[in-house]
Amino acid sequence: MSQTPVLALRGIFKRFGAVQVLSGVDLEVHAGEVVALVGDNGAGKSTLVKTIAGVHPIDEGRIEWEGRPVGISRPQDSQSLGVATVYQDLALCDNLDVVANLFLGRELKKGGVLDEVAMEKRAKDLLSTLSIRIPSVRIPVAALSGGQRQVVAIARALVGDPKIVILDEPTAALGVEQTAQVLDLVERLREQGLGTILISHNMADVKAVADTVAVLRLGRNNGTFPVATTTHEEIIAAITGATDNAVTRRKARTTEATQ
């Protein structure tokens, strides 16, 4: 794992009207690291992710990209840095085929005309490097199952060669088999050296693929744990606040210091 995180958030504050949604949140994502972002509903996970994606500009704090401070105020800023976000509602066009969906908004062209052959070839290459299997890249997305749509949505995020991929509850609506496929895919993202932020409520998924778990509670950091040495119960305790005391806070500090 590299020393300088690809993306680092330092002391992020975000307020919506009277609600202080994020208070001094820190988060670091390294290349080839899967960071699971967990917390109860209303903990601020989605808001934090949206500040990275440029949907909600931050009020206070610093965003560092490969060590340099950057400003993200629009979705385009985030995309041009190399952040790709897969939202929970996948936002695919049902009537378009897989290739068209993958390249929607950044079609390959030759002499001003869509280059279908090049797009189809790149789509096939991309899907095969991710070991994604789809009946055909030329069938409408409507014909795909939920798991296949999820992997297409993730593959779509990768078309722009991002460095950080944000997955918002990628397995929430999936069956056992499809969940396994998506988790496989997350592991392949790590193998390719991408940093991944995974939002999930499912502790089994988190334990299965994440390297680090960052817990948010009521808009604040409530501990960052290495998955390998942390038990299920410790994470749950951090999410619910059952151990929100001096001991855990100290532990969180020491874990951060050792990284």
Partner 1 sequence: MSTTPEATGQAPVPEPRTPDTAAPAAGAVPAVDPRLLVREKGFKGYAEEFVRRLRSGEIGSLPVVVGLIVIGVVFQLLTGNFITSYNLDQITLYATGPGIMAVGIVFVLLLGEIDLAVGSVAGLAGSVWGVFATDLPDSVAILLGIFSGALLGAFHGVVFAKIGVPAFVVTLAGFLGWAGLQTWVMGERSTIPTPIGSFVGDLTKYYFSDVAAAYGLAVVVVAAFYLAQALDSGRRKAAGLPYRPQSEMLLRTGVLAVLVLVAAYGFNQEKGLPLSLVIFLAILLVTDFVLRRTTYGRQVFAVGGGIEAARRAGINVDWIRISVFTISGTLGAVGGLFLASATGGADRSLGGGNQLMMCIAAAVIGGTSLFGGRGKVWSALLGILVLQSIVQGLNQLNLQSNAIQYMITGAVLLIAVIIDSVSRRTQKSAGRA
- Return the number of the residue (59 or 116) whose C-beta is nearest partner 1: 116
Give CA–CA dist 187/131, Å, rounded: 11
Q: How far is the CB of 247 from partner 1 (least distance, A)?
A: 42
Q: How far is the CB of 125 from partner 1 (least distance, A)?
A: 10
Q: How far is the CB of 215 from partner 1 (least distance, A)?
A: 28
Give CA–CA dist 206/219, Å, rounded: 20
Q: Binding to partner 1 by residue 227, rule CB under 8 A?
A: no
Alpha-carbon separation of residue 179 from 88, 167, 198, 236 (angstroms): 14, 13, 13, 21
Q: Binding to partner 1 by residue 211, rule CB under 8 A?
A: no
Alpha-carbon separation of residue 72 from 37, 49, 79, 80, 98 (angstroms): 20, 12, 10, 10, 30
- Among 4, 24, 133, 250, interactor with partner 1 by CB under 8 A: 133
Site for partner 1 in 53-82 (CB under 8 A): 76
The dihedral built from the CA positions of residue 142, 148, 154 and 155, taken in this order, carries a sign that is negative
Site for partner 1 in 173-192 (CB under 8 A): 177, 181, 184
The span of 3-11, 143-151, 163-171, 250-258 binding partner 1 (CB under 8 A) equals 143-151
The span of 33-41, 144-152, 209-217, 222-230 binding partner 1 (CB under 8 A) equals 144-152
Alpha-carbon separation of residue 237 from 116, 156, 200, 217, 226 (angstroms): 51, 36, 16, 11, 15
- Among 1, 19, 70, 91, interactor with partner 1 by CB under 8 A: 91
204, 181 contact by CB (below 8 A): no
- Among 89, 229, 246, 247, interactor with partner 1 by CB under 8 A: 89
Q: How far is the CB of 133 from partner 1 (least distance, A)?
A: 4
- Return the number of the residue (26 or 184) whose C-beta is nearest partner 1: 184
Q: Give the residues across from 29 on adjacent strands.
A: 7
Give CA–CA dist 235/40, Å, rounded: 12
> 65 Cβ partners below 8 Å, 6+ apart?
6, 7, 81
Q: Which residues bind partner 1 (CB under 8 A)?
A: 76, 87, 89-97, 100-101, 104-107, 109, 112-114, 117-118, 120-121, 124, 128, 131-133, 135-136, 138-140, 142-145, 147-148, 177, 181, 184
